[in-house]
A and B are shown apart, each in its own frame.
Chain A
Amino acid sequence: EDQVTQSPEALRLQEGESSSLNCSYTVSGLRGLFWYRQDPGKGPEFLFTLYSAGEEKEKERLKATLTKKESFLHITAPKPEDSATYLCAVQVLITPMDTGRRALTFGSGTRLQVQP
């Protein structure tokens, strides 16, 4: 069964204190790994797609990396406006033999709070 685990569940940082969020996965046939940001009362907002181990993507203070077992979302010198829940999702290629298998599996998210 495909599994996606995010840690920590919650993280509190001081403004400027860099850290990393983890998304570990056990799937076969990885097609892509997505990172989303979700603000309270809103839907998830797409951030990055990573396709293969060793790949990195950056956007402002965020950098996402991917290995064969996990992905990290590094936050450099965070600001209060970076406070949100960060979700990762793993996508696999579905074949007709994959009865009951989901194409996309989400983690439970990491709730990040950055204090001024």
Chain B
Amino acid sequence: ETGVTQTPRHLVMGMTNKKSLKCEQHLGHNAMYWYKQSAKKPLELMFVYNFKEQTENNSVPSRFSPECPNSSHLFLHLHTLQPEDSALYLCASSQAPQGAFNNSPLHFGNGTRLTVT
């Protein structure tokens, strides 16, 4: 098993659909993240969970709804998305949350390529 696994790899959805992205980490890490990656832009932090508790919501629209049932699993529920939400959605984990004394790097999954039609 790779360290961070994301499913599905590709997703095409209409603006009225409801879908979910799934992330699972097998590294024993305590912090998990959702990032959005658009072409030629820096990675954009969406949500942070530390020990299953959401510690950061980076002003993300409510059509994106995260869920973290335990320290190994993270979901991103999607509904009524817009075409501009099309992007690569990356899940990441780290031993300790960013900004803590432990400079632990992020470990990323391979992302879900989302296309909203």
Interface contact B90-A43, CB-CB below 8 Å: yes
Interface contact A87-B108, CB-CB below 8 Å: no
Q: How many residues of A contact B (CB 8 A)?
A: 28
Given contacts A43-B90, A104-B106, whether A92 and B99 have CB atoms under 8 Å apart is yes
Further pairs besides A49-B105, A93-B99: 5, Cβ < 8 Å: A43-B111, A46-B106, A103-B98, A104-B98, A108-B42
Given contacts A4-B42, A108-B40, A108-B41, whether A43 and B101 have CB atoms under 8 Å apart is no
Chain A interface (Cβ < 8 Å from any Cβ of B): 4, 9, 31-32, 34, 36, 41-46, 49, 51, 87, 89, 91-94, 102-109
Partner of A46, one of B6, B45, B101, B105: B105
Interface contact A44-B108, CB-CB below 8 Å: yes
In this complex, which of B4, B105, B111 has the most chain A Cβ atoms within 10 angstroms of its Cβ?
B105
* Contact residues of B between 75 and 104, Cβ < 8 Å to A: 90, 92, 97-99, 101, 103
Alpha-carbon distance between A35 and B42 when the two chains are bound, in angstroms: 14
Alpha-carbon distance between A109 and B107 when the two chains are bound, in angstroms: 17
Interface contact B99-A46, CB-CB below 8 Å: no
In this complex, which of B42, B58, B111 has the most chain A Cβ atoms within 10 angstroms of its Cβ?
B42
Partner of B4, one of A4, A43, A108: A43
| Residues of B contacting A104 in the complex (Cβ-Cβ under 8 angstroms) | 45, 98-99, 106
Alpha-carbon distance between A94 and B100 when the two chains are bound, in angstroms: 7
Report the minimal beta-carbon distance from B92 to chain A, rounded to whole angstroms. Answer: 8
Interface assignment of B43: CB less than 8 Å from any CB of chain A? yes
Interface contact B111-A42, CB-CB below 8 Å: yes
21 A-B pairs with C-beta separation under 8 A: A34-B105, A36-B108, A42-B111, A43-B6, A43-B90, A43-B108, A43-B110, A44-B43, A46-B106, A49-B103, A91-B99, A92-B99, A93-B101, A94-B99, A102-B58, A103-B97, A103-B98, A104-B98, A107-B42, A108-B42, A109-B42
| Residues of A contacting B109 in the complex (Cβ-Cβ under 8 angstroms) | 43
| Residues of A contacting B105 in the complex (Cβ-Cβ under 8 angstroms) | 34, 46, 49
